[in-house]
C-alpha cells in the first residue's frame, strides 16, 4: 500500500517568521556594506568606544594641539633670552642670578662695562727687596702692558713706628710709594702694590 504525502500550506505565523528572518539577514548585510564615516554624526562617539592605539599621529593634526604645560619655556634653554635663576646660562642675554654666565650680555642687570675686567695685583719693592738703612726709599709697582692702574697701596717691614709714608705717586700704569725713616736706625725696605685692569 502506497503512502501519500499530504500537502500543507504554511501557517500565517510561519510566513511572518520567515519574512522577519530574511529581512534581518538582509539588513545586516546592508549595514555592513553601507555605513561609513559620512553616516556617523560628529561628536557622537565617545573616546572610550575607540579601540586602544587606533588613533595615531597619522590621524592627528599636530598643529591643532596645544603646548604641553611644562614645555612652554623649554624650547631652548641653552640659548635662553632670560635665565632668571639658572645655575648655568652659557649664552643667556640676561642672567640675573646665574651661578655661571659664560657669555651673558648682562649680569644682575648691569653690562660688562660696570665690572672690572682682567683685574690683577702687581708688586714692586725698594732696593730689590734688600733691607737697608737708607731713607727715603721708593717702591714702584707697574701694570702689565695694555692695562691701567685702578688702585693700589704700600707697606714696609720696618719696626712699627720707625718708618712712615712720604708720598704716593700714580700714573696710568704705575703706583709709586715713597717712605722715610722717622726714628731709630732700622734696616728696611718698602713695598708698593698696584691694582691693574683692562681699560
Q: Is the pTM here over 0.85, yes or no? A: no
Give the dihedral sign, CA 191/195/198/199: negative
Residue 156: its H or E element: strand 148-156
Mean pLDDT score, 125-149 = 94
Taking the mean position of all CA atoms in its chain, how far away is CA 112? 19
Q: How confident is the model at residue 36 (pLDDT cuts 50, 70, 90)?
A: low
Q: pLDDT by residue (tens digit) across 84-127?
A: 665 665 665 665 665 665 656 666 677 766 778 889 999 999 99
Amino acid at each position: 500500500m502506497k503512502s501519500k504525502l499530504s500537502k500543507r500550506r504554511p501557517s500565517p505565523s510561519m510566513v511572518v517568521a520567515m519574512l522577519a528572518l530574511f529581512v534581518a539577514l538582509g539588513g545586516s548585510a546592508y549595514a555592513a556594506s553601507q555605513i561609513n564615516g559620512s553616516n556617523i554624526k560628529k561628536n557622537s562617539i565617545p573616546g572610550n568606544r575607540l579601540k586602544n592605539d587606533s588613533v595615531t599621529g597619522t590621524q592627528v593634526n599636530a598643529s591643532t594641539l596645544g603646548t604641553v604645560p611644562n614645555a612652554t619655556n623649554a624650547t631652548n634653554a641653552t640659548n635662553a633670552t632670560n635665565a632668571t635663576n639658572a645655575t648655568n646660562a652659557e649664552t643667556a642675554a640676561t642672567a640675573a642670578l646665574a651661578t655661571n654666565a659664560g657669555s651673558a650680555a648682562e649680569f644682575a642687570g648691569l653690562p660688562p662695562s660696570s665690572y672690572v675686567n682682567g683685574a690683577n695685583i702687581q708688586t714692586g719693592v725698594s732696593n730689590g727687596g734688600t733691607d737697608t738703612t737708607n731713607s727715603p726709599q721708593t717702591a714702584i709697582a707697574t701694570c702689565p702692558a695694555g692695562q691701567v692702574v685702578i688702585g693700589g697701596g704700600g707697606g714696609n717691614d720696618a719696626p712699627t713706628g720707625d718708618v712712615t709714608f712720604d708720598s704716593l705717586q700714580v700714573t696710568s700704569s704705575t703706583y709709586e710709594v715713597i717712605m722715610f725713616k722717622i726714628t731709630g736706625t732700622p734696616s728696611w725696605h718698602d713695598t708698593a702694590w698696584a691694582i691693574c685692569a683692562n681699560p
